[in-house]
């Protein structure tokens, strides 16, 4: 039995601490991965910083982490298409409801993952480059392709280039989720307009966006509406705090009825990282209720359905297999899909995961903080 260890969140608000962890073998439909790289996400920060406000079902001590890359060391009964020794990336869903929470957390040496949320990666793709993908690409795919979200056509590795294209607006293209949404929408045959800070505009175009607008510009909504006037807009995907309001305004101006939201209108980073911050919590709750209420009212006036997406929802519908078993393995093997955003390695070893989370809390621009193991 391999010896396992993990970066544990021993109690709400605590720093992660490295300690022994049980090793769990693969059950039916599962793989065990010896992780060689993990990445941190805002979700991990939110869970660590806000106690049980989110993921209240996750017991402490907990193992956070969604993005893993490494070698398969165990293949569960009924799994086809994977063998011991394969190099893979996977979306670890240990933080979700009704999962084997600790065994399926990403921040440990050995993680149990669902085989249907794993993809082989080519030999020339480094673990630390590929590990930026799992949560971000899953969230982007859930938002773009689920029938109850934007419901777009599915991506292919050889999109047709001749037909007149509908447009998709990705507000927040330089986020991890957004840079994957751009690539997926282009692969599905849509033209993409996105927003980012000017230093990231070239990168957005490299990923396939046709127009890029600075989201901080006071005229951003007007610019976007004027660029897309007369074109068919299939949907708007709003990513980043403050993205919901301009996204609904764009949809309203262009007669588009579908807007998907990845982020709440108020950032959870305004909450202090400590228990019983009642005043801040009350302020946060009131602000959130006010902004979301106003947003839904505006949407309703224009017949717009603005819905939140949940990154792991694809594991319960046809988008999961489409992305993880068909599109990603083929696109990564062909080199037609770029792992994005770029990885910045914060350190090596489980003890470097807390510094990676601290770096994320200070901010990231078109970058994913990664730890090698």
Ligand X SMILES: NC(=O)c1ccc[n+]([C@@H]2O[C@H](COP(=O)([O-])OP(=O)(O)OC[C@H]3O[C@@H](n4cnc5c(N)ncnc54)[C@H](OP(=O)(O)O)[C@@H]3O)[C@@H](O)[C@H]2O)c1
Which stretches of the chain bind ligand X, using CB under 6 A? Answer: 41-43, 135-136, 139, 171-172, 174-177, 195-197, 200, 215, 239-243, 262-263, 309-311, 364-366
Indicate the angle between helix axes 278-301 and 244-254, nearest 10 degrees.
0
Q: Between 26 and 262, name the residue whose CB sits nearer to ligand X.
A: 262
- Report CA-CA distances (Å) from 175 to 155, 243, 261, 315: 20, 12, 13, 22
Least CB distance to ligand X at residue 167 (A): 18
Least CB distance to ligand X at residue 228 (A): 18
Q: Between 35 and 263, name the residue whose CB sits nearer to ligand X.
A: 263
Residues contacting 149, CB < 8 A, separation 6+: 142, 143, 258, 260, 307, 309
Q: Between 109 and 168, name the residue whose CB sits nearer to ligand X.
A: 168
Residue 336: Cβ-neighbour burial (10 angstroms; 0-12, 13-18, 19+): middle
Structural contact between residues 64 and 37, judged by C-beta atoms closer than 8 angstroms: no
Quick one: which H or E segment has residue 227? helix 220-228
CB atoms within 10 A of CB 332: 21
What whole-number distance in Å separates Cα of residue 371 and Cα of residue 373?
7
Least CB distance to ligand X at residue 50 (A): 12
Between the CA atoms of 321, 97, 75 and 348, what dihedral angle is there, to the nearest 10 degrees?
100
Least CB distance to ligand X at residue 132 (A): 9
Residue nearest to ligand X (CB): 240
Least CB distance to ligand X at residue 178 (A): 6
Least CB distance to ligand X at residue 141 (A): 11
Q: Between 40 and 256, name the residue whose CB sits nearer to ligand X.
A: 40
Least CB distance to ligand X at residue 354 (A): 17
Q: Between 252 and 262, name the residue whose CB sits nearer to ligand X.
A: 262
What whole-number distance in Å separates Cα of residue 237 and Cα of residue 259?
6
Q: Between 42 and 155, name the residue whose CB sits nearer to ligand X.
A: 42
Q: Between 86 and 179, name the residue whose CB sits nearer to ligand X.
A: 179
What whole-number distance in Å separates Cα of residue 182 and Cα of residue 188?
10
């Amino acid at each position: 039995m391999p010896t396992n260890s993990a970066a544990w969140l021993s109690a709400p608000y605590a720093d992660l601490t490295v300690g022994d962890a049980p090793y769990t073998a693969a059950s039916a439909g599962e793989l065990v991965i010896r992780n060689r790289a993990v990445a941190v996400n805002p979700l991990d920060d939110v869970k660590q910083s806000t106690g049980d406000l989110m993921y209240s079902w996750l017991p402490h001590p907990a193992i956070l982490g969604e993005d893993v890359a490494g070698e398969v060391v165990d293949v569960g009964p009924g799994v086809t298409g994977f063998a011991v020794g394969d190099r893979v990336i996977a979306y670890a869903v240990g933080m979700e409801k009704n999962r084997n929470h600790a065994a399926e957390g990403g921040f440990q040496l050995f993680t149990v993952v669902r085989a249907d949320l794993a993809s082989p990666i080519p030999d020339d793709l480094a673990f630390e480059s590929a590990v930026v993908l799992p949560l971000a690409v899953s969230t982007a795919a859930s938002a773009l392709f689920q029938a109850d979200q934007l419901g777009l056509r599915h991506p292919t590795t050889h999109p047709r280039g001749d037909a007149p294209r509908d447009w998709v607006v990705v507000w927040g293209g330089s986020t991890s989720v957004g840079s994957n949404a751009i690539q997926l929408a282009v692969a599905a045959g849509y033209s993409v307009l996105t927003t980012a800070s000017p230093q990231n505009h070239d990168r957005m175009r490299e990923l396939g966006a046709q127009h890029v607008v600075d989201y901080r510009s006071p005229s951003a909504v007007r610019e976007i509406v004027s660029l897309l006037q007369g074109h068919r807009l299939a949907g708007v995907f709003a990513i980043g705090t403050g993205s919901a309001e301009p996204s609904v305004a764009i949809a309203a101006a262009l007669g588009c009825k579908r807007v998907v939201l990845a982020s709440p209108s108020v950032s959870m980073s305004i909450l202090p990282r400590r228990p019983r911050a009642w005043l801040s919590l009350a302020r946060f709750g009131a602000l959130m209720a006010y902004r979301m209420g106003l947003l839904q009212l505006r949407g309703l006036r224009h017949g717009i359905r603005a819905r939140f997406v949940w990154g792991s929802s694809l594991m319960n519908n046809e988008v999961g297999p489409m992305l993880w078993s068909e599109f990603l393995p083929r696109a990564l093997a062909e080199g037609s899909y770029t792992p994005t955003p770029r990885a910045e390695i914060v350190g090596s070893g489980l003890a470097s995961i807390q510094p990676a989370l601290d770096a994320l809390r200070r901010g990231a621009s078109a970058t994913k903080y990664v730890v090698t193991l």
